[in-house]
Structure 1
Amino acid sequence: MKTAFIFPGQGTQAVGMGRDFSQRHPAIFGELFEEANDILGFDLKKLCFQGPIEQLTDTAVAQSAIYTVSVGVFRLLTQEGFRPDVVAGMSLGQFAAIVASGALSFQDGLQIVKRRGELMSAVKEAGDMVAVITLNEQLMQQVKEIVTTLGGNIGVDNSPTQVVLSGAATKMKECSEELGTITGVKPRHLRVSQAFHSPLMLEVEDELMDYVSQFELKNPTIPILLNCGPSFGETAQDIFDDIRGQCTRTVQWRKSVDKLAELGVETLVEVGASRTLIGLLKAWQGLKWTTNTTDSTSNYMRTVKTLKTQAQVVKG
């Protein structure tokens, strides 16, 4: 049975994230949060455990929090002896996936994530993001045609029935109003201050990549799916180019999931304080997955039990 570890992106932060893991696994999470606090220069652990949510939701904080907790859970799974056949991450989640692939250290990745969040937060032109959910795939095709006609931009292609539009606030308002007139289409503005994965991010792209180039990226030892196309990153340069690409290009999560199915992956584990990516899988009708989450220690233990049972079946 092939297994994929998938890592969630921004928007999955919540007060209390990582707290139960820290209590049950202090050796791993205690060290992890100490490293994070030293690198970030603020108490990430306190913000994750106690909030307030307004501060935790700040782009620079949220990205560091999600990344750190995801890597922590990955370390626990590794300690249990589990090694995925492939890894993938959505947007921000890609950085935890890069660490899991063996191409980047946690410390270097956190510094990149911190700087990424700072630069994105400082983009001058006001942006907006709109999640659009449809009843079926046919309606989604209609949505994409309308967005193209209006000159809008798709920031994230989540699933056959969900996309996230991203761009200038005025353009997002125009798209949202037009799509809201269609029966079976639900546009919803997200609580963000910037338009991630849109041309507005071109302002910070070069500065971010100059910063990323200071750190050592290695060739991955575990196959990693890239964000900007249904292909694997086989070299450090592939990963570097993908980090650049996701600044302004569409994150192709739908194609990533299609690729996992094509590869024969049967077991998916969402690694981190979220079950968002597992929830999206419901839109792939006809595909049967064994899905697992690690958003709490109880769900983590269920996942460990499932993976151990599967390992025994494979050994026969």
Structure 2
Amino acid sequence: MEKRAFLFSGQGAQYVGMGKRICEKSKTAREVFDEASEALGYDLKKMCLEGSKEELTLTYHAQPAILTVSTAMYRICLEEGIRPDIMAGHSLGEISALTCAGGIAFRDAVRIVRKRGEFMQEAVPVDKGRMIAAGTREAEKLEEICKNASREGRKAVISNYNSRTQYVVSGDKKAVEEVAEKLEAEGIRVSYLNVSAPFHSP
């Protein structure tokens, strides 16, 4: 017997315009956005659809936005008779999964991730840290490159071991950029993540 899993994304998935199509077509989606906006005290839908990329990327905006879109899509799936047997999430997505599973009331979850984002952004000011995804099978070599880039009070570490062929590096901006340059010089694919702080790092 087949089982269906819903996997909820973490930060970096946000983009200006997200939620536009579902809000145009679904009353349920619009109601979810309205509920989130009321809980937060500002128009989240307007920020998602009309705001700037820089504003939406700030973690205290990105987290409520991703949670809201995830919840809206989940509720639409339920209306269509599409139900999961299992739910899981990556980082912030864990909270989205827990919310959709009924473990946290949506209004509470929106406020929680907003406050979570504020604390996380306070820990590292905007533009002080970076994150990259690296497509490589050589974890030990990547660890060594991070170690060599960690000096003069700055640090870069492997923060996510996503798979045997993809790792995420987080840390101080200059250290992470040095890691990226060394990887690219060796022909290794590097992608900068669309986040405002170096999450999952010391």
Common fold: TM-score over 0.5: yes
Q: Deviations over 1:79-125 (max 9, x none)?
A: 23333121111111111111122221111111111011111122246
Q: Deviations over 1:127-162 (max 9, x none)?
A: 22122123xx3x345324543566631222223222
* Cα distance change, pair 20–189 in 1 and its aligned pair in 2 (3 A): closer
Q: Please report how far the alpha carbon of residue 62 of structure 1 lies from its aligned counterpart in structure 2 after TM superposition.
A: 1.5
Alpha carbon RMSD of aligned pairs, Å? 2.2
Asked whether the 8 Å contact 2:143–2:157 carries over to 1, the reply is no
CA distance in 2, matches of 1:31, 1:99: 16
CA distance in 2, matches of 1:6, 1:91: 11
Match of 1:127 in 2: 129
* Cα distance change, pair 15–174 in 1 and its aligned pair in 2 (3 A): closer
Q: Percent identity?
A: 41
Q: Please report how far the alpha carbon of residue 190 of structure 1 lies from its aligned counterpart in structure 2 after TM superposition.
A: 3.5
Match of 2:167 in 1: 163
Matches within 5 A, 1:1-316: 1-26=2-27, 28-124=28-124, 126-134=128-136, 137=137, 139-147=138-146, 152-183=156-187, 185-199=188-202
- Secondary structure, counterpart of 1:198 in structure 2: coil
CA distance in 1, matches of 2:166, 2:192: 13
Letter in 2 for 1:157: Y
* Cα distance change, pair 91–29 in 1 and its aligned pair in 2 (3 A): same
Q: Deviations over 1:239-271 (max 9, x none)?
A: xxxxxxxxxxxxxxxxxxxxxxxxxxxxxxxxx
CA distance in 2, matches of 1:4, 1:80: 16
Q: Please report how far the alpha carbon of residue 198 of structure 1 lies from its aligned counterpart in structure 2 after TM superposition.
A: 0.8
Q: Please report how far the alpha carbon of residue 9 of structure 1 lies from its aligned counterpart in structure 2 after TM superposition.
A: 1.4
Letter in 1 for 2:118: E
Q: Please report how far the alpha carbon of residue 169 of structure 1 lies from its aligned counterpart in structure 2 after TM superposition.
A: 2.4
* Cα distance change, pair 191–81 in 1 and its aligned pair in 2 (3 A): closer
CA distance in 2, matches of 1:124, 1:48: 24
Match of 2:153 in 1: none
TM-score under structure 2 length normalisation: 0.84
CA distance in 2, matches of 1:192, 1:77: 28
Match of 1:246 in 2: none
Letter in 2 for 1:67: L
Aligned residues: 194
CA distance in 2, matches of 1:45, 1:178: 40
CA distance in 2, matches of 1:74, 1:191: 23
- Secondary structure, counterpart of 1:122 in structure 2: helix
- Secondary structure, counterpart of 1:180 in structure 2: helix
- Secondary structure, counterpart of 2:161 in structure 1: strand
Q: Please report how far the alpha carbon of residue 45 of structure 1 lies from its aligned counterpart in structure 2 after TM superposition.
A: 0.9
Letter in 2 for 1:47: M
Q: Please report how far the alpha carbon of residue 176 of structure 1 lies from its aligned counterpart in structure 2 after TM superposition.
A: 2.6
Q: Deviations over 1:266-295 (max 9, x none)?
A: xxxxxxxxxxxxxxxxxxxxxxxxxxxxxx
* Cα distance change, pair 18–189 in 1 and its aligned pair in 2 (3 A): closer
Letter in 2 for 1:130: I
Give ranges in structure 2 of 5+ residues lacking alignment: 151-155
Give ranges in structure 1 of 5+ residues lacking alignment: 200-316
- Secondary structure, counterpart of 2:29 in structure 1: helix
